[in-house]
Structure 1
């Protein structure tokens, strides 16, 4: 999860101003630690919900010299900040640390003899393994999202570098409980299961986070954080779709007076629009 972006700063401002809860819909090994660092008290990650990663120790982490590398592996600090992994004098991988820690393991990459990826292990900020990412000749094959027992719960399957199948399974029996043909369908269906008709959801942008609500039973609001007019001088397509009610799962659009006026001058239907104070 990246916090040094304009998108995050805008969303954090909305969270704090309206005392909202955060639902993160992307896999994020650093989610719990980042939320603590950012001072966000009410936050949940969709992948953590599905894998039941319900506990987090803010005072723990995986020290690099305790990382589960093959016996006999040498861990060497490089000038670029990465830790090189060598076995019998040959490079076998690389270790990444969480920024600003100099010791907490974030990711371990294992290489094929030709230097391409073979296996990647991601670790949460409390040191527990988060994923196992499997490659074949450097191409992604299967990504596994683990529970606290290191059992796969969510699996991504790739073909020719394209993610084309997602499953949720029983971690004990490995029986497939749900399956999806693409990531967007997986996220939106799971979001719909998580939310209820009593929930009110606010999104700030017209992309993936908005589309994740397309099956949700909640009352969904777009807090417009972009210029309503694109670089070609046209009303943004998804915004126009919402205002014309072609995208009916967004019931309200909140915008500042300038955005409202720009749309009104074009005779756009503004029955779903609400003017809010300009931040």
Structure 2
């Protein structure tokens, strides 16, 4: 509901039709998809006695986790570049972040996420599973499936690391370099109010980056053992982070709070006038 509200508010308020909020609306859509991939089945399993999922259903879940997770990693790096352009090169911002380039960034993020998913799940479909394996997890994730396979998964492991590590490293390093330049620029600003305003525009995105990257890196790089830490990290980046993102951006962003207020007032006025006309 939080992500859906964020998408509707950004679309409804013309003052938020800027590149920053264009990317934020896509992040909210991604978070909505990300949590929708695992949470419904997770809730069903928690509430029912038979906690089962077909192999096809499990691989489909893995596929969409890869797409949404990989796309979100790319989009977070794009949003960091957007903040870098706005703070470090304000006069060139219109050229660096044009409308066409924004769309290219978003479609490129989806393309890389799909490529990762296609390569890894295509190989995973060739795995054989012994009898009726039990997944020591709340959802289907590729690292949890490898120990359950009767076939050789060395190629799958190599491909997974060769696709995830460069993807994760490139996006995380681009975020790191963007924020290195941003911090350097902000510290050179003499005005305290301008400095705090510049920091506030980045704090929400930086919080989201730390929550997402911290938990997902720990989940995919630690050895699969079925420990409680694996479950915590997986639930954190797959469920908690998508739920917290709209709160982080709405509570720490004055423009979003003002837009929510304007949108609510507009719809309440429409509702009041309709009620008055009927009365």
TM-score greater than 0.5 by the shorter chain: no
Larger strand percent = 1
- Higher relative contact order by CA 8 Å / sep ≥ 6: 1 or 2? 2
Q: Give the TM-score taking structure 1 as reference length.
A: 0.27
Larger helix percent = 2
Q: Give the TM-score taking structure 2 as reference length.
A: 0.27
